[in-house]
Each structure stands twice: as structure tokens, then as C-alpha cells.
Amino acid sequence: MKRIIIIFIVTLTCISGFSQTETIKDTVRVDTSKDVGQLNDPVSADTLKPLIDNHLSLKPVENSLQIPDMSSYDQIKIGMKAKKTYNENLEWVKVVGLYTASVVLNAMGDGFNNSNRKTLGHVCNGASIGLLVASPFVVKYNAKKWYWYLASYVSLRVGLFDVTYNATRGLPLNFTGTTSPTDIAYNKMEIDPNVTRSLCLTLGMSIPIALL
């Protein structure tokens, strides 16, 4: 009878241990499957919205994430910076070009008017004023440096106006009259007008390049 009881107790112990082992295996299997399931599931874009950079990085596409080609983005960014720098470097060309055209047209207009070709003269003078009025729409002016723009225009005018006026009227390019303020200054100070005009022309072109 004792042997039967001992055998019965041993059997119950084995069965209990086996059931506990199976329970542990099931628990491990369930936990592992949950982890794997979490790893295999696609990442929701809504979950990562706080991490998405609207300007540079990840963007949601149909509840998934699309990673842009950063190399292409960098190329675009570099290209935009280069374009911006290129446009800024061309500002002096716009300033010199507009001011030069305005001065030349004004001188031609005065020359035509004094040669009894007033219709053509009025057209040139009007075009000269129109260029100056339209310049703020073409040139990116820096209001804090207004005096440099004025100095550039005055220098270009001194360097180009008299020469263009003389050429329009058929006079020698180095001709010096007796009525304009610059001609009076040249005569009183006995200054070679060609030297002064050359220096002013150089100064008028240098100011936008170096200071604007």
C-alpha cells in the first residue's frame, strides 16, 4: 500500500513539473511572438509625426514614411545658394548699366534738343527718366547705403555726359564749353577734362563693385 502511495505521489510530482514547464514555454512563445509582431509591423506615420521635419526629412505617404534622397536635396540646396550668390554678385552690373544708360540718354536728349531735333531729344530724355524710375524694380537697393548710389551716379554722369553730348552734336569729344558747371570748373581750375572724366568713370564703376 505504501509503494502505491509513493508511486502516486511521484507521478503527481512529475505531471505537475511537466505542466509548469509547458506553461513557461507557452509564456516565452507568446512574449516572443509579440516582440516579433511589433518589429514586423510597419511603422505608422502618425506615431512618428513629432519626429518628422517638414522641411528636410521624413514625410508621410499613405500611412508610411518616405525617406528623400538627401544627396539630391543637398544638390538642390547648394544650387539655390549658388544662384542667390550669383544674383547678388550681378547687382553692381545692374547699377552701373542702368545709371550709364540713363546718363547717356540724358546727354543725347540735350544734344538733340540743342541741335533742333527736339522730338528725338524728348524721347531720349523721357527714356532716361524712365530708367531711373524703374531702377528700384530691377536693383535690390540698400537704403542704408543711399549715398554710395548717389556718388556712383554723379561720378558716371561727370565721366560720360559731356563726351556723349559732344558726340551727339558733332563736336570734338574733349570740347569744353563755357556754360555748364563742369566746363566752368575745368576752365577756372585749368584741369584736363579727359583726365577728370576718366577718373570719375572709373570711380563710378568701382563704387558698386566694392561698396554696394
41 belongs to a structural domain: no
CA distance 199 to 104: 17
99 domain residue, yes or no: yes
Residue 21 has pLDDT above 80, yes or no: no
How does the average pLDDT of the chain come out, rounded?
A: 75
Whether 59 maps to a domain, the answer reads: no
How far, in Å, CA of 54 to CA of 36, rounded? 31
Q: 164: domain range?
A: 81-211
pLDDT of 113 higher than 80: yes
For residues 103-118, average pLDDT: 95
Q: Which three cell numbers stand for residue 11?
A: 507521478
Higher-confidence position of 109 and 191: 109
Identify the band that residue 100 occupies on the pLDDT scale cut at 50, 70 and 90. very high
Q: Count other C-beta atoms under 10 Å from residue 1's C-beta.
A: 5
pLDDT for 210 beyond 80: yes
Rounded alpha-carbon distances, angstroms, from residue 97 to 3, 29, 33: 119, 80, 75
On whether residue 8 sits in a domain, the answer given is: no
Tell me what percent of the residues of the chain surpass a pLDDT of 90.
Answer: 44
Quote the number of domains for the chain.
1
Q: Is the pLDDT of residue 163 over 90?
A: yes
pLDDT at position 198, please? 93
Specify the higher pLDDT residue, 132 or 52.
Answer: 132
pLDDT for the residue numbered 3: 53
Q: What is the pLDDT of residue 177?
A: 80
Of 209, 196, 110, whose CA–CA distance to 158 is shortest?
A: 196
Q: Is the pLDDT of residue 110 over 60?
A: yes
Residue 1 resides in a domain: no
Q: Give the range with max mean pLDDT: 14-28, 87-101, 122-136.
A: 122-136
pLDDT above 90 for 122? yes
Distance from C-alpha of 107 to C-alpha of 114, rounded to nearest angstrom: 11
- Range 126-146 burial, b when 16+ CB lie within 10 A, else e: eebeebeeebeeebeeeeeee
Q: Position 192: which residue type?
A: D
Residue 21: inside a domain, yes or no?
no
207 belongs to a structural domain: yes
Bigger pLDDT: 71 vs 171 = 171
Q: Which H or E run contains 31?
A: helix 2-40
**Does residue 148 sit within a domain?**
yes
Cα–Cα distance, 7 to 70 (Å, whole number) = 73
